[in-house]
Amino acid sequence: MMPCLWLPLALGCAVAAAVLPLCRPAFAAPKTADSPLPPTLCRRLADETDRNLREHVLAPWFPRALDQKFGGFYEAFDEQWARPVGDGNVKSVVYQSRLTWIASRAAHRYPQKAVSYRAMARHGVAVLSDRLWDRENGGFFWSVSETGEPFRNGEKHAYGVAFAIYAASAAYQATGETRALDLAKRAYAWLETHAQDTKNGGYYEALTCDGKPILTIPTAPDATVADPIGMRYGFKSMNGHIHLLEALTALYGLWPDAGLRARLKEMLRIVRDKVAVEPGCLNLFFTPQWRPVPDHDSFGHDVETAYLLTEASAVLGRPDDAKTWATARRLVDHALAFGWDEKNGGFYDAGSAFGAATITDKVWWTQAEGLNALLLMHERYGRETPRYGAAFLKQWEFITRRQIDYGNTGWLGKVSAEGVPIPGQIKSDAWKDPYHQGRALLNVSQTLRKMANEKTKTP
């Protein structure tokens, strides 16, 4: 561990200055613009990112989050990683899937702890299969109580099904057990039967308990106009479809089914050619006919999608597809042009196609996806320009100095543009989990070792 440093931070105009302990890696950007990431620096950064993965992503959740009584994983933890009293112990398909996924990936990365992580991956598959899967109608409930009673009238969502496919696929890779792969295949078959839009392409997203697409706003007095991911019923979303692309990519990598390949190619075209638009943005919402509905530009989703597009193209056997890479690069370039904080480092939360950022808070998952995308672009285009490598270094500096809670461990959910923590934050809930930062650090540490001509370490 690095020595603790005391750094005074102002907690806003209405709050007195506070002093926060920060134990952070020493950071020194290279002086040569020609080579922002030489091998010696890559080796050091690989060690730093791997250590962050172990200490601030894996260790806080595992085994703390395991629910040995009701199965699956606890979702709610406060700032100090204590479970809040009366949290209800809800099990949501996205959170349960994401912890199953990261446990599965950790089993690959750390062979000496593989037995433990495989056990946790099996634990996650069990809650997906036995509690969240609807045995009567098929499909995954959005969320259930600790004893398995579904909430929201048993509503289902393609976004949730996507993450379950993603998790079950990773669990099969980690354990080799057909139960996990069979679950992923069964979920994909349910999705195709109930959610596929055969007329317009893509998928309907919100579905009733018996698998019927919800295409109009419910009229019941207690109904909400927003579906489980915060979108109006009856529309399609960028968020749903980029993660469906991600899920189908993972499953196709294990199960090269012809029908699945055709669907994955369709999803790649939809995200690349309909969702992504000039000058490098993603439309957030669409009618069922793929007519865009105006809204803001989410910089985090832009840089995340850059990675997901290239990943899908590679799995389809086209790792150098020019059109896909051009779209991916535009997404990152636009985020750097309009959503990047050149002074402090880090990506802002949201903005517009041509204007300054409108929401300048910095959210943990956006910083993680930015880190991953910047190194991806540097690896691809670093010989043309040092800009991605230089931004990657600044991004990692911002994360290590401002986005990590060294006192309690874990990533802070949200900080100001300058990196001041937003008071009263939780460490984990149904939406804050180890998926984004875990995936980014897994990818980045491995890529840095490859760039340094060094094998991935397995401590």
Place of tokens 């904080």: 341
Can you say how many angstroms the Cα of residue 447 is from the centroid of all Cα atoms in its chain? 18
Look at residue 144 and tell me if it is in a domain: yes
Query: In this structure, are 285 and 332 located in the same domain?
Result: no
The residue among 437, 453, 283 whose CA lies nearest residue 363 is 437
Q: Tell me, what's the pLDDT at 221?
A: 54
Q: Tell me, what's the pLDDT at 458?
A: 52
Domain that holds residue 187: 83-295
Examine the fold and report which residue of 261, 295, 329 is the final residue of a domain before the chain moves on: 295
Residues 136-173: pLDDT tens digits?
999 999 999 999 999 999 999 999 999 999 999 999 99
Q: Tell me, what's the pLDDT at 85?
A: 77
Query: In this structure, are 105 and 252 located in the same domain?
Result: yes
Query: In this structure, are 144 and 246 located in the same domain?
Result: yes
Number of domains in the chain: 2
Query: In this structure, are 237 and 97 located in the same domain?
Result: yes
Query: In this structure, are 267 and 330 located in the same domain?
Result: no
Q: Tell me, what's the pLDDT at 129?
A: 98
pLDDT in tens, the chain (459 residues): 333 332 333 333 333 333 233 344 444 444 444 679 999 999 999 999 999 999 999 999 999 999 999 999 999 999 999 998 777 899 999 999 999 999 999 999 999 999 999 999 999 999 999 999 999 999 999 999 999 999 999 999 999 999 999 999 999 999 999 999 999 999 999 999 999 999 999 999 999 999 999 998 666 555 567 899 988 899 999 999 999 999 999 999 999 999 999 999 999 999 999 999 999 999 999 999 999 999 999 999 999 999 999 999 999 999 999 999 999 999 999 999 999 999 999 999 999 999 999 999 999 999 999 999 999 999 999 999 999 999 999 999 999 999 999 999 999 999 999 999 998 899 999 999 999 999 999 999 999 999 999 766 555
Look at residue 6 and tell me if it is in a domain: no
Look at residue 68 and tell me if it is in a domain: no
Look at residue 367 and tell me if it is in a domain: yes
Query: In this structure, are 135 and 276 located in the same domain?
Result: yes
Q: Tell me, what's the pLDDT at 87?
A: 79
Query: In this structure, are 161 and 256 located in the same domain?
Result: yes
Q: Tell me, what's the pLDDT at 225?
A: 77
State the burial class of residue 152 (Cβ atoms within 10 Å of its Cβ: 0-12, 13-18, 19+): middle
Query: In this structure, are 329 and 273 located in the same domain?
Result: no
Look at residue 4 and tell me if it is in a domain: no
The residue among 308, 295, 364, 306 whose CA lies nearest residue 335 is 306
Examine the fold and report which residue of 260, 295, 330 is the final residue of a domain before the chain moves on: 295
Q: Tell me, what's the pLDDT at 104?
A: 98
- The CATH number for 111's domain is 1.50.10.10
Query: In this structure, are 257 and 397 located in the same domain?
Result: no
| Cβ contacts of 71 within 8 Å, gap of 6 or more | 91, 123, 126, 127, 130, 131
Look at residue 304 and tell me if it is in a domain: no
Gap between the Cα atoms of 419 and 417, Å rounded: 5
Look at residue 411 and tell me if it is in a domain: yes
245, two tokens: 């692309």
Half-sphere exposure at residue 445, Cβ-oriented, CA atoms within 13 angstroms: 21
Query: In this structure, are 232 and 137 located in the same domain?
Result: yes
Query: In this structure, are 93 and 53 located in the same domain?
Result: no
Q: Tell me, what's the pLDDT at 27?
A: 44
Examine the fold and report which residue of 280, 295, 310 is the final residue of a domain before the chain moves on: 295
The residue among 23, 16, 19, 17 whose CA lies nearest residue 1 is 23
Look at residue 32 and tell me if it is in a domain: yes
Query: In this structure, are 149 and 54 located in the same domain?
Result: no
